[in-house]
């Protein structure tokens, strides 16, 4: 009888393991509950002499003061990020940006335009743990994603981006 009970226990254990593995969310590219920090740099011929500089330098504020950290979950992780420029929402399979600054915004109103050649607005997302991003597609041809590592993603906004109130884009992650 002991051998039979042992086989039943092994069978139940194996079944339990299979059910646990099957219930894992294979679509979870970005891991909910992860901490992420966003920083920003800007590079252009006109404003930075082609050097990539931290956005704090352009705004003449202390280094790192415009970085923000959030935990990935429901809702917008970075509302009004970068002095009320973007709402940035990170979900399990996407990253979305929406320009929330208005036409008369004191920081950005005079900067709204279609970005010219050799202009790059980069957003560095540094995660506390490894993420599962290996591929992506972007809804705006002037936006790209660079996967620096399993913990660092860089959203690069460049030439042709129509930088204006209400503009938005989504990066679908795979």
pLDDT in tens, 74-106: 999 999 999 999 999 999 999 999 999 999 999
Report the predicted TM-score, pTM, of the whole model to 2 decimal places.
0.84
Around 157, how many Cα atoms within 13 Å sit in the side-chain half-sphere? 24
Cβ burial of 86 (10 Å; 0-12, 13-18, 19+) is buried
pLDDT in tens, 29-81: 999 999 999 999 999 998 899 999 999 999 999 999 999 999 999 999 999 99
d(CA 123, CA 120): 10
Q: Which residues are CB-neighbours of 106 under 8 A, at least 6 positions away?
A: none
């Amino acid at each position: 009888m002991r051998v039979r009970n042992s086989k039943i226990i092994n069978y139940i254990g194996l079944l339990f393991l299979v059910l646990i593995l099957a219930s894992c969310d294979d679509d979870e590219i970005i891991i909910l509950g992860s901490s992420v920090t966003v920083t920003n740099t800007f590079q252009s011929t006109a404003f930075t002499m082609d050097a990539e500089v931290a956005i704090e330098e352009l705004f003449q504020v202390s280094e790192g003061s415009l970085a923000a950290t959030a935990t990935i979950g429901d809702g917008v992780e970075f509302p009004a990020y970068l002095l009320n420029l973007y709402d940035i929402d990170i979900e399990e399979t996407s990253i979305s940006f929406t320009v929330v600054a208005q036409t008369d915004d004191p920081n950005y109103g005079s900067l709204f335009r279609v970005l010219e050649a050799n202009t790059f607005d980069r957003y560095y997302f540094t995660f506390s743990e490894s993420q599962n991003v290996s591929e992506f597609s972007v809804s705006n041809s002037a936006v790209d994603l660079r996967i620096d590592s399993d913990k660092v993603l860089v959203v690069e906004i460049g030439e042709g981006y129509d930088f204006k109130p209400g503009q938005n884009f989504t990066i679908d992650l795979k």
